[in-house]
Amino acid sequence: MSLEQLNAYCVSKLNELKKKGAQKGIEKVIVRIFVPDWVRQGRLPDAEEDKDSGPRYFLAGDENAYLLMNSNSYLGLSIHPHVIAAEEKAVEEFGTGPGAVRFISGTYAPHVELENKLAAFHQRESAMIYSAAYATVMGVLPPLINENTLVISDQLNHNSIINAIRLAHPAEKTIYMHLDMAELERILRIYTTNNPEGKKQQIKRILVVTDGIFSMRGDHAPLNEIVDLCREYEHHFADGIITIADDSHGVGAFGETGRGTEEYTHCQVDILIATLGKALGVNGGYVTASKSVIDYLRETSPFYIYSNPITPSEALAATKSLDILENSEGRERLKRLRTLTQRFEAGMTELGFETIPGDHPVTPLVVRDTQKTAQLIRHLHKNQVLATGLNYPVVPQGEEEIRFQINANHTTRDIDYTLAVLKNFNAAHYV
């Protein structure tokens, strides 16, 4: 009987989402991928191949071939033959799963090799992997937060950061307007003086946490300014100010060598969180920092201690992705990614659409209306383009958008085709 009441509650909430136009609805199921020869060969297209289509995706119950313009696999490594081969080899050697959590019997040589490589890649002492980037954020923040901690967060931080702060129950939390360094400094200054609430004495440590790349917009945090501000004020607090960035969308897609927002802004935060499941094309999340911090997290982070790691085969595949990123092929893929992104962004601007300019391959088309966003998504789908409409509450009301994401396996023809589809849409009515 109680389940019937719960069913009724769930249905009512679903109806509310549908009425607001915020329901995500039925998920599209990909059943097959068409992969061109140049992708199968692990290379980028030549001039003639660039005039043809890149990979195409087939959906359940649909004979059409779709262009995927909403994938986080920025470098195209999820279908790279060397990455696939590395995972297949590890499956043969280690099986399909770890079989246990790390401290029991779930740590395999590929896990250790990957952690060492990640630490070296980011020029840190140590690193540890989690089952997902979301789990990493949830697992890292709470052990660093206690009853004497103030957490300061960017207004548009990812849902994982918001929920990790809620889970941690800090002494206080405060939010600064998106990318507003003047407001961040104002908050820091307030807590170095006698503030009206009289709570200064209980704040011994501050955590300033931000996304590196803000995934809904493609803009980036000025990490260099954040670090400089924190260094200026840290001596006022017994346990200092710790800077943390989740650069899941930045690593592998941003910066000259793909080292993300830190590289782009020429600085290093205290603790860096990122993912293996976007530009690196595999699965899992990780954190990298000093050896002392990582050793502490291995002993205290429940999302690490009580959850299986990624599979050994995923770890070896991610290591291969890092190898590719660090060699000449990786630099070529990053260069191509920047070129295609610039082409698409310039094309949208020329068509009169609003976008948020930047060097990251997330290129949003800002619509600012939920229903109009849905109409444009339907138009794209009708023309075999898969893109993601982002509505409230995923984005604030009035900032509804379609998030396009460029990847290195797109061809020039793919970019121009998408722009042609947008051109045929009646932009004057919807943006």
- Tens of pLDDT along the chain (431 residues)? 689 999 999 999 999 888 776 777 789 999 999 999 999 999 999 999 999 999 999 999 999 999 999 999 999 999 999 999 999 999 999 999 999 999 999 999 999 999 999 999 999 999 999 999 999 999 999 999 999 999 999 999 999 999 999 999 999 999 999 999 999 999 999 998 755 455 555 899 999 999 999 998 999 999 999 999 999 999 999 999 999 999 999 999 999 999 999 999 999 999 999 999 999 999 999 999 999 999 999 999 999 999 999 999 999 999 999 999 999 999 999 999 999 999 999 999 999 999 999 999 999 999 988 888 888 999 999 999 999 888 776 677 888 899 999 999 999 999 999 999 999 986 445 44
Please give the structure tokens belonging to residue 175. 């939010």
Nearest to 279 by CA among 73, 97, 112, 124: 73
User: What residues form DSSP beta bridges with 173?
Assistant: 151
Nearest to 209 by CA among 173, 240, 165, 245: 245
One of 73, 78, 126, 215 is an active-site residue; which one?
A: 215
CB within 8 Å of 421: residues ≥ 6 apart: 379, 380, 383, 385
CB within 8 Å of 289: residues ≥ 6 apart: 124, 125, 126, 127, 270, 271, 272
CB within 8 Å of 101: residues ≥ 6 apart: 305, 306, 307, 308, 309
pTM recorded for the entire structure? 0.94
First-residue to last-residue Cα distance in the chain: 48
Specify whether 249 is catalytic: yes
Which H or E run includes 207? strand 205-211
At which residue do the structure tokens 């799963």 appear? 97
One of 173, 278, 320, 410 is an active-site residue; which one?
A: 278
CB within 8 Å of 106: residues ≥ 6 apart: 98, 99, 100, 308, 309
At which residue do the structure tokens 């994982």 appear? 160
Exposure letters 151-161 (e unless 16+ CB within 10 A, then b): bbbbebbbebb
Parallel/antiparallel/unpaired status of strands 388-390 and 401-405:
antiparallel
Please give the structure tokens belonging to residue 296. 């502490």
Dist. CA 325–CA 146, nearest whole Å:
38
User: What residues form DSSP beta bridges with 68?
Assistant: 386
Task: Give the HSE-up count for residue 337: Cα atoms under 13 Å, Cβ half-sphere.
Answer: 32
CA dihedral 328, 329, 331, 333 (to 10 degrees): 170
Contact 255, 96 (CB under 8 A): no
pLDDT tens sequence across 304-331: 999 999 999 999 999 999 999 999 999 9
Query: Residue 426 has what pLDDT?
Result: 62
Specify whether 158 is catalytic: no
Please give the structure tokens belonging to residue 318. 């991610």
Dist. CA 261–CA 255, nearest whole Å:
7
One of 249, 320, 360, 410 is an active-site residue; which one?
A: 249
Please give the structure tokens belonging to residue 149. 């901690």
Dist. CA 430–CA 402, nearest whole Å:
12
Q: How many CB atoms lie within 10 A of CB 27?
A: 7
Specify whether 381 is catalytic: no
CB within 8 Å of 112: residues ≥ 6 apart: none
